[in-house]
Amino acid sequence: MKNVRQKIAIAFSVLAIVTLTACERPPVESKQTGYRGTGMDQIDNPRTQEQLAKINEMPAGVPASPDGPKAGAVYKNVKVLNNLSTAQFGAFMVSMTSWVAPKEGCAYCHNVQNFADDSLYTKTVARRMIQMNQQINSNWADHVKQTGVTCYTCHRGNNIPQNVWFNPEEKRGGNMLGNANGQNDPASAVAYTALPNKPFADYLVEKGGPARIVGKTALPTGNKATLQSTENVYGMMTHMSHSLGVNCTFCHNSQNFSSWEQSTPQRAQAWYGIQMLKDINTNFMTPLKDVFPPNRLGPTGDVAKANCATCHQGVNKPLLGQSMLKDYPYLAPNRDMPKDSTHSAAK
């Protein structure tokens, strides 16, 4: 009898584990953001928030005086930020090293026997990434506001940001099933759902279309989105929700998801974010294909590119809305530059 009771207890324990695996342990906090009855609530888990706060701690800044001789006049081969004072330039190099290569140090980008040497590909990439920071902070204030970004926003002490994407490699679903389209292959990019797990190529590069499935006219002439395109949109939306740690109603009114008039202001900011990602992936990341070595390219030979998770990493404001630009104002020049302005690649 004792063995039977033990087996029953074990069976119930296993059932409880299986049943509760997809559930969050209470208590959770719910905040109503829209009219009653619309279901526009944001759900937060205090334990998760504590973890995210730790991940999004901002590193100490290294302010420096702009006075004194310029870096371009003192050091050789300074092609970017050559107008900084030597104090600013040195402070930024120290900061950049801690943000991107804390283990490797200066040697990650430089030939330490000759700092003017350009033989390491990482140095060329770093120059271009500095320009990308300037582009984002100067031209995309509609998305990053006055908070802006630095290298740390994405890298967080890693050579390669933890959240990047490559063009997907086609996976056959069997001799008769054709391209599986990334389905039933759970990935963190789409919150481990069965949706297509790499929808970004459809929306986050220059030729990508809008993430929209509702037509402006009724059937039979309008609203003819295919099942595949619809699932790709949902994959993208799931990615955005998961990356920012928010519900769909953070941007949308659940009464009418497609209506801009009934959406929250965050939806417009998210739209600018998608356009910003198209800009940096197309004009800054993709042109570096020939600079990166083969081991840094994806399965189809493309470079790593950014998506929402690259910066946000689980919170709706990267680094919980804290700005690092007060110590690095030279990463946000020319805020009145036109949005279609692009920088020439560093060579």
| HEC assignment per residue over 151-214 | HHHHHCCCCCCCCCECCCCCCECCCCCCECCCCCCCCHHHCCCCCCCCCHHHCCCCCCCCCCCC
Q: 72, 79 in Cβ contact below 8 A?
A: no
CA distance 108 to 123: 8
Q: 111, 119 in Cβ contact below 8 A?
A: yes
User: According to the annotation, is 324 in a ligand binding site?
Assistant: no
User: According to the annotation, is 23 in a ligand binding site?
Assistant: no
Helix (H) or strand (E) holding 106: none
Helix (H, G, I), strand (E, B) or coil at 95: helix
CA distance 22 to 44: 16
Q: 325, 332 in Cβ contact below 8 A?
A: yes
User: According to the annotation, is 239 in a ligand binding site?
Assistant: no
Tokens of 110: 């430089």
User: According to the annotation, is 248 in a ligand binding site?
Assistant: yes
Tell me the binding residues for heme.
Answer: 93, 106, 109-110, 129, 143, 151, 154-155, 237, 248, 251-252, 308, 311-312
Tell me the binding residues.
Answer: 93, 106, 109-110, 129, 143, 151, 154-155, 237, 248, 251-252, 308, 311-312
